[in-house]
Structure 1
Amino acid sequence: MTDNDYLIAWGLYAFAALGCLLVWFKLTGWMWRYLREPLRVIGAVLLFCPTVIDPVKETYAPALAISVLDLGLKVGNNVWRAALDLSTYGAIALGVYVVFALIRLPFLRKKKARQAHAEAVAAQAAAEEKENDEPFAAQVPSRYGSAATPPSKGGSGGTAGRYRVEPKL
């Protein structure tokens, strides 16, 4: 394999691994944040961790592919080196994630407190607006009701003694 073939193979693998990582992100999207994010880190480590397959030429291959092929075909002893690389890179990546999560935690708490305060202010403003919505409602018992008019004296047509009835909305 020439250097160009080697670089083309790694480029194709990187493109396919990015697609697999995107699918993994979609599959873990519904989960709780503190479960989803470490699973995504583990998925990225499994897909992008390289291991040495030929120390003389310094050629690398994906550690997951090497370990699966060596175990499946029962050839070579690269599976131990690949497992060691996977565990080392995984521990480093999870350690960096834990530090990132611990740094992010106070900012998330402040954000949650700001949101709770904003919701309380909005609820208080809505309650005040509702209270002030009908400023003249206390003067009239019903908003759409009107006082009954007394029956007219005399008059023609048979309207004497009848009141106008309107439906209430």
Structure 2
Amino acid sequence: MGLFSRKPKLPPADRPPLAADERVLAWAAVGNGEGDGVIVASNLGLWLPGRGHRIGWHDLIKAVWSGRELTVTPAQTVVERDGYLVVTDGPAETYLLLDPGELPHQVRARVTRSVAYTERHPVPGGAARVAARRVPGVDGLTWTVRPEPGTPPDDEALLAETDRLVSVARAATAPADS
């Protein structure tokens, strides 16, 4: 594409069922571009081929761009606690993008922008990362704890410690009263 040329609009047949307040930011055909589907980045999340739903930016643990392939790792909920979720890495999904355009940039920017707080802590049985993420259209932060691989995610001692860690992190990130 030339300096001032634009990527064609997303074909209507490839347009996901967007919410009323959702807009397409970038998209790219997957694989050879002949029926493999498209990845669509919106202001609310990422639409991947073969899924009938969007993955919110706050639900992506990791996104890696190799220059040809985009690999995304969504979060999987292990247990819901009072005020936060314990999550682990879901299966990583890799997509070959022949004409990526702005998609990798938008994915990186949106995932990064969603992170308001993140800190790694030692916990019983290993280590875990406490994170607070911004969710488009939602006031406040969504909290998660992600035990590192090898750390049992549903161990009672770990859960007691993560309750404490999330409580401390919430207090440290709460806006000061004026």
- The answer to whether TM tops 0.5 is no
Query: What TM-score does the superposition give when structure 2 sets the normalisation length?
Result: 0.24
The structure whose residues are more often helix, as a share, is 1
Higher Cα Rg: structure 1 or 2?
Answer: 1
The structure whose residues are more often strand, as a share, is 2
Higher relative contact order (CA 8 A, sep 6+): 2
Query: What TM-score does the superposition give when structure 1 sets the normalisation length?
Result: 0.25
